[in-house]
Chain A
Amino acid sequence: MEHPFGISLDVGTSLNNLTGSWRTEKPVYVDRLPPCNNACPAGENIQAWLFHAESGDYEKAWRSLTENNPLPAIMGRVCYHPCEGACNRAQIDEAVGINSVERFLGDTAIAKGWAFAGPQSETGKRVLVVGAGPSGLSAAYHLRRMGHTVEIHEAGPFAGGMMRFGIPKYRLPRDILDAEVKRILDMGVTLTLNAKVDNIVDSMKAGKFDAAFLAVGAHIGKRAFIPAGAASKVLDAVSLLRSMEGEDKPLLGRRVVVYGGGNTAIDAARTARRLGATEAIIVYRRTRDRMPAHDFEVEEALQEGIMMKWLSTIKRVDEGVLTVEKMKLDEKGFPQPTGEFETLEADSLVLALGQDVDLSLLDGVPGLEIKDGVVKVAPNMMTGYAGVFAGGDMVPSERTVTVAVGHGKKAARHIDAWLHGDTYQAPEKHELASIDKMNEWYYADAPKTVRPMLETARRIDTFEEIQGGLDETNALYEARRCLSCGNCFECDNCYGVCPDNAVIKLGPGDRFKFNYDYCKGCGVCAQECPCGAIKMVPEEI
């Protein structure tokens, strides 16, 4: 090229100037672990299914959800949603109503008749699942998806376990339960009812099973020794709740006392109220703040006129009257007797003091370790007897439906690996996406949608479901309140805010990549990423 006078260089673009060499730190895209996912006992990828729900693709959201948990409509009613307790949005306004969106997805799936895909291929391996509760159903679902032949043996007359015999109808309508159970069976899982397994080793031999998953639950109500007069009416909460499923409703009288402070005590008291008790009183030896029952359940019970008697133990039961001793808490918070007694009128006493497991099917099985009435399992959920795994309420853990579902999934993965002569390695957890890694500015104010509640007057004399669901508009709004903590939601911020035009947009669903030829490492993208999906890491210099 001919140059003018005094000019010696060709003109050109600054693209020849690779400013990436200035960098001492570089941004990298990361997926951090959202706190909701971290808190979910069933290991749901909540952020991922909300991402699909946000765009109105409810089926994709439901399919994403059910990769981990096959019971969303049930979860959306009975799960105590630890996810919402961990939600980062709570630090901005209120937690995202994850549980209500889950219910919406579950109900939509039932209404639309969405079915689970069957296995890609059959492995020919046979797995016996003992118990059709949440843990057994979850394990059966996952094992079936992996291609194994699954048979569930259930001792009771219906599937559902504690979801049917422990959770009252006003919290979980039975048509919902039935629909979600049926969908699992439709994958080709065999369910045999009224089939109590007396000896697991014999049953496995008889059915030529390669492995077994035990999830028999904890159905025996604990008894406390309370001196009782001849005509006194004492029953346990589990039997009370179980008998609600039969034809003959239990007769409790007008004044019912429930003894205990857990969720079962609350369920029993609320059931008694609905059966016509004018007074339902919960007697608990400690105080409300030390009650194991969830606070919202206590609150709902109080709204329904359930009375609470704190710091009291029941010493004696006679016809129509109980003797109660007042307690006080010592420095360590344990209740101590005071020697002061009083009486309480009661037509019946319901004991809700916890449940034991019927472990008779394990009699004579070698290698097992049983402690405190539950079976010890290794980290892979296997008992001391090779090929027999266990989960749910019969192993040491928190006894909730969601934990049970999580056990089922975890056990299924290990059973699958074990059947292949392998061990299952869980992928490493990502770094937690705590709120300090996010940029709150970009989230608009949007308070939580409140689910409609049945008015109290109608609650106390029917078993109608008390909590309503969200409609589509609400559910969409609620899903969109998700901050997408730690995971890119393609807001284009990094792409927009880079002063060096060094972020490449790859198009919908493909996110972005950095152009390290020009990225100077200023860090504006990481600072302005709303959800904390960019991390600055030092360059090797």
Chain B
Amino acid sequence: MDDTTATAATQKLRFYQKGTFTVGNRLVSESDRSVQASIDRSNALTCGHRACQGCGEALGARYALDTALRATGGNIIAVNATGCLEVFTTPYPETSWQIPWIHSLFGNAAAVATGVAAAMRAKGKPQVRAIAQGGDGGTTDIGFGCLSGMFERNDDVLYICYDNEAYMNTGVQRSSATPPAARTATTPAEGPEPGNVFGTGKSLPRIAVAHGIPYVATATVADLHDLERKVVKAMSIHGARYLHIHVPCPLGWGSVSQDTIRLARLAVECGLFPVYEAEHGFVTGSRKIRRQVPVEDYLKPQRRFAHLFASDEGRGRLKRLQAIADRNIDEYNLLEREGDA
């Protein structure tokens, strides 16, 4: 296992002014700063979009595409699945995208991107790279077939899933990425098993790894440097690549808008959202938990989990969620052990 690249990027120098927890740093050279810190970043997704206040997806999309633009010298065509990201950025006739961008259907983003990559090859412009992006609904449910096909054919596409854990655009319906116990419009906090049922859903990063594609990674809007590094790495590779970014949704999660990044951070720090990388079917490294917290710290600020804190049965379910976090911690080796650098 090669954990060193992940930690080296974030711990170059240990004290804050040289640390890389913040977006930028006036004391390090421009080339060592994040893309987002640069005064002339592309803003692939610019102002005036209609995302809710504190939208994690808008943030994640700008982070990822600005980085991809820099990594490719501006040679990007983005394909968008239907979903929040498509709706809030491009209500006809306005668009917030400052890159070539195409939307077709809810379920076919991966296939369209495959076509874009093939077209660029055919036109003798192989330097123009295709990125497909969608929400968790368009990725894990509706677009899953096309995505799996893109993976198994090893098409030269980076697929980015912005995971806000439900169909937010249409009114917060459950998706196969909705976590256990979460209240949605279709999994109300009622009855003997309130919220989303334990034991349902799927982990798309895990499925992507199982396809044996060249690169799979998870990331979060709470760790910009890690996210940017992964996009750069993905763009340095040809073939099918999958990036799964955890993006809090104040509307769907019932959280306050200023907590978007804080919640993304707590999801990682409690172990419920493991941040890791895999190459050709094998996990190669994970981002270590820095200040471990119990799952309650992450769940309590979200109204979709309020029922967990309202009864003894709820507290029993909290234990099950903690068990999931603990299993992630074990499986992905999320805690710094003695002897680690």
Query: Which stretch in A11-19, A187-195, A378-386 binds the other chain?
Result: A11-19
Known: A15-B47, A444-B21. A523 touches B15 (CB 8 A): no
From 417 to 468 in chain A, residues with beta carbon under 8 angstroms from any chain B beta carbon are 441-446
What CA separation (Å) do A491 and B54 show in the bound complex?
20
Q: Is the CB of A480 within 8 A of B26?
A: no
Chain A residues lying within 8 Å of B11, measured Cβ to Cβ, are 444
| B292 at the A interface (CB under 8 A) | no
Contact of B49 among A11, A14, A522 (CB under 8 A): A14
Q: Are A499 and B93 in contact (CB under 8 A)?
A: no
Looking at B128-136, B138-146, B257-265, the stretch in contact with chain A turns out to be: B257-265
Overall SS of chain B's interface: loop
B257-A523 in contact (CB<8A): yes
Chain A residues closer than 8 Å to B21, beta-carbon distance: 441-444
Q: Does A495 contact B (CB under 8 A)?
A: yes
Chain A interface, >50% SS class: loop
**Is the pair B34, A524 in contact by a Cβ cutoff of 8 Å?**
no
- Within 8 Å of chain A (Cβ to Cβ): is B89? yes
Interface string of A1-37 (1 = CB under 8 A from B): 0000001011111111111001000000000000000
Complex alpha-carbon distance, A527 and B53, angstroms: 14
For the complex, give the distance between the alpha carbons of A78 and B260 in Å.
47
Asked if A526 and B258 make an inter-chain contact with CB atoms under 8 angstroms apart, the answer reads yes
In the complex, A9→B95 CA distance in Å?
Answer: 13
Pair A528/B16 contact, Cβ less than 8 Å = no
- Let me know if A489 is at the binding interface, CB within 8 A: yes
Inter-chain contact B265/A522, CB cutoff 8 Å:
no
Given A15-B47, A522-B53, A522-B257, A55 contacting B26 (CB threshold 8 A):
yes
Name which of A40-48, A391-399, A512-520 contacts chain B.
A512-520
B62 neighbours in A (Cβ, 8 Å)? 499, 501
Q: Which bucket holds chain A's interface residue count?
A: 35 or more
Q: Which residue of B lies closest to A439 (CB)?
A: B262
In the complex, A445 Cα to B34 Cα: how many Å? 21
- Complex-state Cα separation, A490 to B25, whole angstroms: 7
Interchain CB contact under 8 A, B47 and A518: yes
Residue of B nearest to A498 (CB): B59
CB-CB under 8 A from A520, the residues of chain B are 53-54
Q: Give the residue of B16, B26, B36, B47 whose beta carbon is less than 8 angstroms from that of A515.
A: B47
Q: Complex Cα distance A444/B21, Å? A: 8
The answer to whether B16 touches A442 (Cβ under 8 A) is yes
> A495 contacts which of B36, B53, B291 (Cβ < 8 Å)?
B36
Interface presence of A493 (CB below 8 A): yes
> Would you give the 0/1 interface string for B9-50, flagging 1 where the beta carbon is closer than 8 Å to chain A?
001001111110111111100000110110100010111111
Nearest chain B CB to A481's CB is how many angstroms away?
6
State in angstroms the CA–CA spacing of A492 and B21 once bound together: 11
C-alpha gap A489/B16 in the complex (Å): 11
The CA-CA distance from A441 to B263 in the complex, in Å, is 13
Whether A12 contacts B93 in the complex (CB less than 8 A), given A443-B16, A499-B58, comes out as: yes
| In the assembled complex, A486 has its CB within 8 A of some CB on chain B | no
A67 at the interface (CB under 8 A from B): no
For B257, give its contact among A9, A12, A19, A524 (CB under 8 Å): A524
In the assembled complex, the CB of B247 is this many whole angstroms from the nearest CB of chain A, namely 10
Q: List B contacts of A518 (CB < 8 A).
A: 47-48
Per-position contact with A for B76-115: 1 when CB-CB < 8 Å, else 0? Answer: 0000000000000100111110000000000000000000
Contact between B23 and A496 (Cβ–Cβ < 8 Å)? Answer: yes
Q: A480-B16, A527-B258 are in contact. Are A508 and B24 (CB under 8 A)?
A: no
- Where the two chains meet, the residues of A that have a C-beta atom closer than 8 Å to any C-beta of B are 7, 9-19, 22, 54-55, 441-446, 477, 480-481, 483, 489-493, 495-502, 505, 507-508, 515, 517-518, 520-524, 526-528, 530, 536
Interface pairs A-B: 7 shortest CB-CB: A492-B24, A496-B23, A523-B258, A14-B48, A522-B54, A522-B53, A491-B22
